[in-house]
Amino acid sequence: MEVNGVEVEETFAEAFPIKVSRILITAATKYWAKVAAQEATGFGTSVIMCPAEAGIERFANWNETPDGRPGYYIQICNFSYKDLEDQVLKRLGQCVLTAPTTAVFNGLLEAKKQFDTGYKLKFFGDGMESETQILDRKMYSIPIMEGDFLIEESIGAVEGVAGGNFFIFGDSQMSALNAAQSAVEAINKVEGTITPFPGGIVASGSKPGANKYTFLKATANEKYCPSIKDKVEGSMIPKDVNAVYEIVINGLDTDVVSEAIETGVKAAVTLPGIKKISAGNYGGNLGPHQFYLKEILK
């Protein structure tokens, strides 16, 4: 199969269930909403060694936020609701309450699972806080040094998807990297998804476990490492390929992750020097979600 003249391997991405909270952060201007969203989702690439997976989902326009201000939806993900709730509280308390001009709204109003994060954070007001309302949302208003911080009482969470992915093979590192960047920028427009790695991109895709250092949970995926393609038996790196990047996608459900894979691949193959698209899986044994490139891109 080819897309825009680029070979797409007949394989699938294997993904996992994860618990996801979705939060809308608004601010006086786009810049300040972005600053808070970035700080709150940092150190959040993979739960292997980060306390959460997190990312900015998309920009929210003036006319679609409860307070008429610009905002960003972010997602924070973890394996258990307990760990997720803890991370939502800490990240909103330390990185958004402290950020200039922000307000916080529930991004999953209809989820069954609701954390009382706003209720907990109101205690920062030390008795000077009050209840208020924006549209029909129950908010707390907490006096702070810049004025008043507003946060909705509850933050919703659902079971979503982690680890949706695809691989971009390039003739040069810069071909693959620019294609990866364009893919991530395109995925930024897909509602409900995030790309939690730095700039949305994984430069060092891993395999579970190890061949040699068996004390490690994950190590380099040597069959996809171009610099050692001549030394590794079964290397998956074609002759004319000198770099591979992986795009990892988390999302609220499988539909949006599918759409993100489709959007990202189609953006990536518009760049010159892209030789192949593939995806990562563990033979289908580990993750219950399988995203077949052929079906998604047909």
Which residues 127-156 are close enough to bind a copy of itself by CB under 8 A? 127-128, 142-149
Min dist CB 163 to a copy of itself, Å, is 14
Min dist CB 110 to a copy of itself, Å, is 26
What would the 3-class secondary structure string for the chain be? CEECCEEECCCEEEEEEEEEEEEEEECCCHHHHHHHHHHHHCCCCCCCCCCCEEEEEEEECHHHCCCCCCEEEEEEEECCHHHHHHHHHHHHHHHCCCCCCCEEEECCCCCCEEECHHHHHHHHHCCCCEEEEECCEEEEEEEECCEEEEEECCEEEEEEEEEEEEEEEECCHHHHHHHHHHHHHHHCCCCCEECCCHHHCECCCEEEECCCCCCCCEEECHHHCHHHCCCCCCCCCCCCCCEEEEEEEEECCHHHHHHHHHHHHHHHCCCCCEEEEECCCCCCCCCCEEEEHHHHCC
Q: For residue 275, state whether it binds a copy of itself (rule: CB under 8 A).
A: no
Q: For residue 298, state whether it binds a copy of itself (rule: CB under 8 A).
A: no
Q: For residue 58, state whether it binds a copy of itself (rule: CB under 8 A).
A: no
Q: Which stretch binds a copy of itself (CB under 8 A): 108-116, 158-166, 179-187, 288-296?
A: 179-187
Min dist CB 176 to a copy of itself, Å, is 7
Q: Are 177 and 201 a contacting pair, CB within 8 Å?
A: yes
Q: For residue 254, state whether it binds a copy of itself (rule: CB under 8 A).
A: no
Q: Which stretch binds a copy of itself (CB under 8 A): 7-15, 123-131, 156-164, 283-291?
A: 123-131
Q: For residue 50, state whether it binds a copy of itself (rule: CB under 8 A).
A: yes
Q: For residue 49, state whether it binds a copy of itself (rule: CB under 8 A).
A: yes
Binding mask 208-247 for a copy of itself (x = CB under 8 A): --xxxx--x-xxxxx-xxxxx--xx---------xxxxx-
How many amino acids of this chain bind a copy of itself (CB under 8 A)? 110
Min dist CB 278 to a copy of itself, Å, is 11
Q: Are 216 and 260 a contacting pair, CB within 8 Å?
A: no
Using the minimum distance from each CB to a copy of itself, give the nearer residue, 30 or 113: 30
Q: For residue 70, state whether it binds a copy of itself (rule: CB under 8 A).
A: yes
Using the minimum distance from each CB to a copy of itself, give the nearer residue, 138 or 266: 266
Min dist CB 40 to a copy of itself, Å, is 7
